[in-house]
Structure 1
Amino acid sequence: MLYRPDAGVLDALLTPLEADGLRLFIFANGPLDEEIERRLARSPQAALIRAPENMGLGHGLNAVTEAAAAEGFAFVLLLDQDSVPTSGMADALLAHLGALAASPTPPPAVIGPRLVSPAEEGYLAPWYSRRTAKDGVAEGAVDFLSTSGSLVSLAAWQAVGPFRADYFIDGIDVEWCFRAWNRGHGCYLAEEVTMPHRWGGAAENGKRQPQILRQSPLRSYYYLRNGLYGLRLAHIPWSWRLRTAARVTAQAALLLLAHRFDRPIRRLVFTALRDGLQARLGPAPPDIA
């Protein structure tokens, strides 16, 4: 999944995948500059799917998943430009899937690596909502996984349904994984398989900073809106809905305090909460920058 990618970052993403000889389905969410076009042209395994403008992450995820299914693949490894996969990661995840297939557990819809954040840039460590053996699941079961790094079973994707394109970006992985659990599939973390990943921009002076404050105002809108909208979905457990309600409240307060209640942020928070409550999804309103 590409959106205004940096050439160096893109090369770090593609190089290990090319070394493994993987077929690459690349969704370009909008125009690409000439340097990026030249880099992609040097990748013989790549099939480029273009969108004339930013169609959103959910649309792109479905496009590459459908392309992989059309070519007869059983699994698709989803990645975005904020991740740096290692050579052999896909095979390691497949090996974990094989072990899970032999255990009495819900069949896996998705398995992913443990994401690690750059320590020098002040990122908070990723948190996983883990399930336990008392829930009747195998070791490594989690409520959801981040999209990037996820190895998705295409048979499960067909059964669970497509990713929600109307979310546009943010919360797509959470909603889909809870839907997978609800429909008899599982989501699993391969603890010893790791992948560096960045969430938003680096904090100033390396100070630790909540993710909501690392994002652009536009991304903050989607965080708040989609989180609030998800409270109405029956397949999301009440425990998670209560946690989300508290998180959205805290994120809105953090944004307002960090920006000293200035007018643009007040408008953003109000619009996000209104749209989430009224189920106004899709792209953000044009006045949200």
Structure 2
Amino acid sequence: MKTGVVVILYNPDFSHVTEIKRAFSTAEWDLVFVDNTVNANANADERFIASDCTYIHCGTNVGIAKAQNIGLKKLFDKGVEYAFLLDQDSLFTPTIAAELLQQFKTLEKTSSIAAIGPSIYCQFSDCVDQGVLQKGKKVSDSLKEVKQIIASGMLLSRRAFQRVGEKENGLFIDGVDHEWCWRARAKGMTIYQSLSACMPHRQGDDRVKVLGITFKQGAPIRLYYQFRNVLILARRGYVPLYWKLRHVCAIPVRYIVNRLCFSQGKERGLYMRAGLKDGLKHFSGPIRSDKDVK
């Protein structure tokens, strides 16, 4: 039985994507690339059509949630029972995948598992991420139960996807993976993180220390979705209280740091204010237009 792998692309580095394709282009894997690039490389189809994988170009940036839904439904409609989600820059291997798949199949015999993901080796801090407020509950030497995991490296089953539902398209990008995990937990399912499978990963473009506190630094437009989605998710009963308190209370500090301490501060301020305004109005989906930001 094949296991699916969905890789979401957006202006990708094709040299790395080709490495992922080469690693998972064997009979045991069913590989799907979903491309959110607006003007896809003219050679993209040629890179994938002649190989043992599926390439889907969305034609526009539909957001990571919808792209993931497209890829997962493509696999599950074909009868695939298990599928991984990967970012285009994930340093993910068949060895990591095999370990997670074995753990998932063992867990589903005795528990209502929604998803499992690898431990994350942060390439900025050069250590395994232990979590800030929620470190999870260790259930064995190789597993811990957690409230949420990131999408990159996440393994879920067709059964879990049908029970929990699709990723939330309206969130577009930030918070999509966590929201799905929290929704699964609200339905009585569990989320696990492997302690024996570890994946190197970079979240954000950079890390910057301000007054001894480390902040993630990404593209200015991401701040729109981050600020907006915090306000959207903070109103929901199934979202953990610690997450609401941490992220809502951090809004003033994050605003000051991004506006005054980071490059492109004026542009960052515009996106943050637009995100706060749309979050209060409960607008969702992609940012409407640049003129709504100014």
- Shorter-chain TM-score tier: 0.7 to 0.9
Equivalent pair of 2:119/2:128 in contact (CA under 8 Å):
no
Aligned: 1:169 with 2:169: no
Residue matched to 1:151: 155
1:265, 1:39 → 2: CA distance? 36
Aligned to 2:250: 247
Give 1:64-83 correspondences, 5 Å limit: 64-83=71-90
8 Å CA contact retained: 2:138, 2:144? no
Cα pair 1:228 1:244 within 8 Å, conserved: no
Contact 1:12/1:84 (8 A) holds in 2: no
For 1:48, what is the secondary structure of its paired residue?
Answer: strand
Measured in 2, the distance between the counterparts of 1:177 and 1:230 equals: 13
What is the aligned partner in structure 1 of residue 49 from structure 2?
A: 41
Higher strand share goes to which structure?
2
Counterparts of 1:284 and 1:48, CA distance in 2: 26
- The aligned amino acid for 1:73 is V
- Tell me if structure 2 keeps the 8 A contact 1:124–1:210: no
C-alpha change, 1:192 and 1:247, in structure 2 (3 Å) is farther
Q: Give the drift of 1:248.
A: 3.2
Structure 2 residue runs of 5 or longer lacking an equivalent are 1-7
Q: Deviations over 1:1-33 (max 9, x none)?
A: 011111112123222222574111111113321
For 1:235 and 1:248, locate their aligned partners in 2 and report how far apart those are by CA, in whole Å.
21
Question: TM-score normalised to the size of structure 1?
Answer: 0.86
Partner of 1:9: 16
Question: CA, structure 1 residues 177+284, in 2 after alignment: closer, same or farther (shift >3 Å)?
Answer: same
The structural deviation recorded for 1:148 is 0.9
> Secondary structure, in 3 states, of the residue corresponding to 2:79?
coil
1:265 partner amino acid: R
- Determine if contact 2:167/2:176 at 8 Å carries over to the other structure: yes
In structure 1, the residue corresponding to 2:193 is in which secondary structure? strand
Provide the residue aligned with 1:181 in structure 2. Answer: 185
Aligned residues: 277
Task: Pick which of 148-157 and 29-38 moved more.
Answer: 29-38
Change (3 A) 1:269 1:160: same
Give the secondary structure class of the aligned counterpart of 2:170: helix
* CA offsets 1:71-124 (integer angstroms, 9 cap, x no match): 011111001112011122222111111332344x4x1110011122325xx678
**1:160 alignment counterpart:** 164
Partner AA of 1:171 in structure 2: G
Distance in 2 (alpha carbons) for counterparts of 1:132 and 1:118: 24
Q: Give the whole-Å Cα distance in 2 for the aligned partners of 1:273 and 1:230.
A: 13
1:89 aligns with 2:96: yes
- Aligned-residue offset at 1:250: 3.0
Query: For the Cα contact (< 8 Å) 2:104–2:113, is it kept in 1?
Result: yes
After TM superposition, the structure 1 stretch with the greater mean CA deviation from structure 2, 5-14 or 71-80, is 5-14
Instruction: Note if 1:113 corresponds to 2:118.
Output: yes
One-letter amino acid of the counterpart of residue 43, structure 1: S
Q: Which amino acid aligns with 1:221?
A: Y
Contact 1:7/1:35 (8 A) holds in 2: no
Q: Distance in 2 between matches of 1:281 and 1:133?
A: 36
Which residue of the partner structure matches residue 28 of structure 1?
Answer: 35
- 1:54 alignment partner in structure 2: 61
Larger helix proportion, structure 1 or 2? 1
Q: Which consecutive unaligned segments of at least 5 residues does structure 1 have?
A: none
Amino acid at match of 1:179: R
Take 1:102 and 1:66, find their aligned partners in 2: how far apart are those partners?
24
Q: 1:40, CA displacement in angstroms?
A: 1.7
Determine the C-alpha separation between the residues in 1 that align with 2:201 and 2:278: 30
Q: Distance in 2 between matches of 1:266 and 1:283?
A: 18
Give the match for residue 216 of structure 1: 219
The separation in 1 between residues aligned to 2:198 and 2:71, in whole angstroms, is: 23
Task: Give the secondary-structure state (helix, strand or coil) at the position aligned to 1:232.
Answer: coil
Structure 2 matches for 1:269-280, cutoff 5 A?
269-280=272-283
